[in-house]
Each structure stands twice: as structure tokens, then as C-alpha cells.
Chains A and B, each alone.
Chain A
Amino acid sequence: MALNWFKFASPASFYPIAGRLIPIFWVLTVALLAVGLYWGFFETADQLGGGNPQKEYYRIIFIHVPAAWMSMWLYVVLVGWAAIGLVFNTRLSFMMANAVAPTGAIFTFLALWTGAFWGRPSWGTYWDWDPRLTSELALFFLYIGYIALHSAIDDTRRADRAAALLAIVGLIMVPLIFWSINCPDPNQCAALHQRSNLMHIEGNILFSMLIMTLAFWMYSFATSFMRLRSIILTREADSSWVQDILTQEDRA
């Protein structure tokens, strides 16, 4: 069966689908959060030994790492939709990119914030010019730049396309920025952040971390789709199907 993907590219046909998907994603979010948090609080060790001993506070990892992962992944998603929008000229793609941006920015901020609170007890400082902190901060600025440029342009079509181009340029620059921060001296490279390797993480901690990541992922779907629906309604306010929906909802 050939599935016609372009059918769903129309805001009118995707609006009801998003509406039906949102509750599912919320349920998944809450369920995964419950499992992930329970596992993280009660099924993991209270103390961590090894090279860098950590007390209870290491449990920030269950928010911190998933938030950092999502912040990076969502930027790729944003650029993906922006690029699809520029290539195929589909309105919904731009709306999707737009809807993802605030969620991504929030996760970036969350990663920085939780990182600061984790850094205080374990490194003795809220902030350090460590490569990963600095590059996460740069990523935050990229999100803010995208949102700011989009909201500064009144004409929607120009705003969509200009912000999309900026996001793509940003993605091309991201490796350069990250790499230059990671390796400020090309003669030698060093970093404060522990080198992480998923294989070395204790099973329970890894499980809880991955469940939390999934929960954040589902949360991103839910919030992006909610935002997407509002964007669709705002932009298509003049079309007849939106009028129909609004009158229906008024009656109900």
C-alpha cells in the first residue's frame, strides 16, 4: 500500500491527528516518568564509589543527562523540519520546526540549570568553563536566536524561511563551535567533564536514565503537538475548516 505522506502535510488533515495523539503522548509521559523516577529513587544505590565518589545528589543525572540529550536531538529535529520546509515548501514543516524550538530551548536551559546544581556539590562550583557546559550554552543561544529571528519578522512566510536558513547555518556551525570549545588549544586537548561511556554505567542507573529520556521524548511530542495545534489555528484562522472547528467547539 502506498501511503500518501503529503496528505498529512496539510495542516487541515494533521490538526485532528495531532489532537488524537496528544493524550496518548501525555499518558506515555506520565507513565514513563513514574517508572523512571521510582527506579531512580528507590532501585539505585545511595552512594557511588569509584574515581569520583558521589552521594545522593548524583541522582540529578536522571534529569540532567536526558535533558541534555533531548536539547541536542531537538535541535536536529528542528533543522530537519526547517530543511524539509525549504525544500518541499510545505507549511506544516515550518510550523513543526516552530513548535519544537521552545521545548528544545527549555531542555537546554534545564540541562544547564541541573548541571549547575550538580556541579556545586561534586565540583564545588556552579559554573565552570568546561567544554560541555560552554557548548550547551552556545546551543541555548542558537535556540534563542532562532526564536528571536522568527518573532521579529511579521510576514510569516519570510519569518519561516529566514529562521529555517538560520537554523541550517547554525547546524553546520555546531560541530565547529563545539569542537573549538572542546579543544581551545589545537596543540593539546583536555576536559573537566568526565568522559562518559554508557557501557560503564551501573544497570539500574542506566535503566532509569533511559526511561527518563523516553519520558522526556514523549513530553516533547506532547508539547510540540499542542503548540503545533495553536500555531495551525492562528495561521489558518481565515480558512473555513478552522471556522467550522471553532463553531463546533463553541457549541460543545
Chain B
Amino acid sequence: MFRVFWTVLKRDLTLAMRRRTDVLTTLFFFMIVVSLFPLGVGTERKVLMTLGPGVVWVAALLASMLALERLFAADYEDGTLEQMLLTAQPLSLLVLAKVAAHWLLTGLPLVLIAPLVGMQYHLSDTAIGIMMLSLLLGTPVLSLIGAIGAALTLGLRGGGILLSLLILPLYIPVLVYGSGAVQVSDIAITDTQPYLTLLGAFLMMAAIFAPVAASAALRISLE
């Protein structure tokens, strides 16, 4: 069973590496959105420090949501997805592998670029560390929940904008605790523990339930 997971993961990563620009587009979208905010609200140091955590998290939300459309689209168009539905392997495992690959390509880069973005907003070192940690725990949840939406809107016209309508309300808890953790990290580092624990709990719940829901959605979309 683990081999199936591994094979799908490796396949998706290889495919993505053949079209590197797709991966980079998400990353640059994230950076551009984050860089636009200071131009809009002014570059005052204090304002930026308050806005920073929220802006970074909202930008991460949007970036990972925009990338979601590609999660199943290519496999859907060339028929691979139908073959996956027909295999004897549990579909939720395949979905989990695809989501994992998707996160490695779109979520992880955001985590790694976060320190750079944090500096743009004059965040302290501890805040940047907590931000990386919260993104590390939170972005996989975004990919997992988003997979349900991506599966539901598969092949629909205007799928992207529809996807955002369906998925963004469901992202609220991750946003609240993700950016909350960064905000309190400046007051007391120990206060961040409940935030991070909750994000971890979300991650575990999403990892268990989201692939099941997403594969049910895929079956509905492809029947």
C-alpha cells in the first residue's frame, strides 16, 4: 500500500518537474501579493508589523487555492484519473498521494520563502520562526480541504472562481489560528502553543477525512 502512495507521489513530482514554471508561478504570485500590500496601505513600520502575519496568511491561502485547480485537471483531461478510479487500490490513498505531491510543490515553497517575506514586514526572528512553523502545519490542511473543492468543480466552466467560493469559507479556522499564532508570538512565545497544537489537530483530522471526502467527490464528478 505504501508503494502505491510512493509511486503516485513520484509520478506527480516528476510530471511537475517537467513543467517547472507552474510551480514557480504559485510562488511568485504569493510574493507579488505580499509585496503589493505595503504599496497599498503605506510603508509605516508599525502598520506593516501589525498587518504582516495576516497578509502573509491570506496570500498563502490565495496562492494555494489558485494552484488547486491543477491538482486533478491534467489527469482528468488525459483520462488518467478515470484509470485511477478503476484500480483496485483505495482511491483515497491515491488522492492523499496526489495532495502530498501538490503540497510539496506549492505549500512547501511558501514555507521556505516565508522568512524573506517576514523581513519585508519587519517581523522579529521569533515571529518569523513561528510563522514558518504555522505555515508548515497549516498549508497541508489547505491542500487537503482544497482537494475536496477541486474534485467537486472538476471540469466545470469557471471552475477557478467557483472553487474559491466553495473553499475559502472552509479555510477560516486555519487562517484564524495560523495568523493568530504569529501575532501572539511577539507577546509571549509560550502563548503560541495552543495555536500550533490546534493547527496540528486540524492537520491530523484533515489528513484522515479529506481524502475520503475528495475521493467521494471524484466519483460523483466522474460517474
Of all A-B residue pairs in the complex, the 9 with the closest CB atoms, nearest first, are: A180-B173, A186-B194, A141-B169, A145-B166, A180-B176, A161-B220, A176-B173, A162-B152, A177-B172
Given contacts A149-B152, A185-B184, contact A162 B170 (CB under 8 A): no
Closest to B156 in A: A152
Indicate whether A234 reaches chain B with its CB closer than 8 angstroms.
Answer: no
Name the interface residues of B151-189: CB closer than 8 Å to any CB of A: 152-153, 156-159, 162, 165-166, 168-170, 172-173, 176-177, 180, 184
Q: Which of A138, A141, A152, A184 contacts B153 (CB 8 A)?
A: A152
Are A162 and B172 in contact, with the CB atoms below 8 A? no
For this complex, 10 residue pairs linking A to B, each with C-beta atoms less than 8 Å apart, are A152-B153, A152-B157, A162-B220, A165-B148, A165-B213, A165-B217, A177-B173, A181-B172, A186-B177, A186-B194
Give the interface size class of chain A.
20 to 34
Are B180 and A185 in contact, with the CB atoms below 8 A? yes
Indicate whether A22 reaches chain B with its CB closer than 8 angstroms.
Answer: no
Interface size on B, residues (CB 8 A): 32
- Bound together, the chains give a CA A181 to CA B172 distance in angstroms of 8
Are A177 and B152 in contact, with the CB atoms below 8 A? no
Closest to B190 in A: A187
Question: Which residues of A lie under 8 Å from residue B159 when comparing CB positions?
Answer: 152
Q: Which of B176, B180, B216 contacts A165 (CB 8 A)?
A: B216
Question: Which residues of A lie under 8 Å from residue B180 when comparing CB positions?
Answer: 184-185
Separation in Å of the A205 CB from the closest CB of chain B?
33
Separation in Å of the A44 CB from the closest CB of chain B?
36
Closest to A172 in B: B209
Name the interface residues of A138-192: CB closer than 8 Å to any CB of B: 138, 141-142, 144-145, 148-149, 152-153, 158, 161-162, 165-166, 169-170, 172-173, 176-177, 179-181, 184-187
Interface residues of B (CB under 8 A from A): 148-149, 152-153, 156-159, 162, 165-166, 168-170, 172-173, 176-177, 180, 184, 191, 194-195, 198, 202, 209, 213, 216-217, 220-221, 223
Closest to B176 in A: A180
- Bound together, the chains give a CA A85 to CA B170 distance in angstroms of 23
Closest to B154 in A: A162
- Bound together, the chains give a CA A179 to CA B174 distance in angstroms of 12
Given contacts A165-B213, A177-B172, contact A145 B165 (CB under 8 A): yes
Separation in Å of the A16 CB from the closest CB of chain B?
31
Are B177 and A180 in contact, with the CB atoms below 8 A? yes
Closest to A179 in B: B173
Separation in Å of the B154 CB from the closest CB of chain A?
9
Are A142 and B172 in contact, with the CB atoms below 8 A? no
Given contacts A170-B169, A173-B173, 12 further A-B contacts (CB under 8 A): A145-B166, A148-B162, A152-B162, A153-B156, A162-B220, A165-B148, A165-B217, A165-B220, A176-B173, A177-B170, A180-B172, A181-B176
- Bound together, the chains give a CA A210 to CA B221 distance in angstroms of 43
Question: Which residues of A lie under 8 Å from residue B221 when comparing CB positions?
Answer: 158, 162
Question: Which residues of A lie under 8 Å from residue B198 when comparing CB positions?
Answer: 186
Are B213 and A169 in contact, with the CB atoms below 8 A? yes
Separation in Å of the B164 CB from the closest CB of chain A?
10
Question: Which residues of A lie under 8 Å from residue B184 when comparing CB positions?
Answer: 185, 187
Are A141 and B220 in contact, with the CB atoms below 8 A? no
Name the interface residues of A16-59: CB closer than 8 Å to any CB of B: none
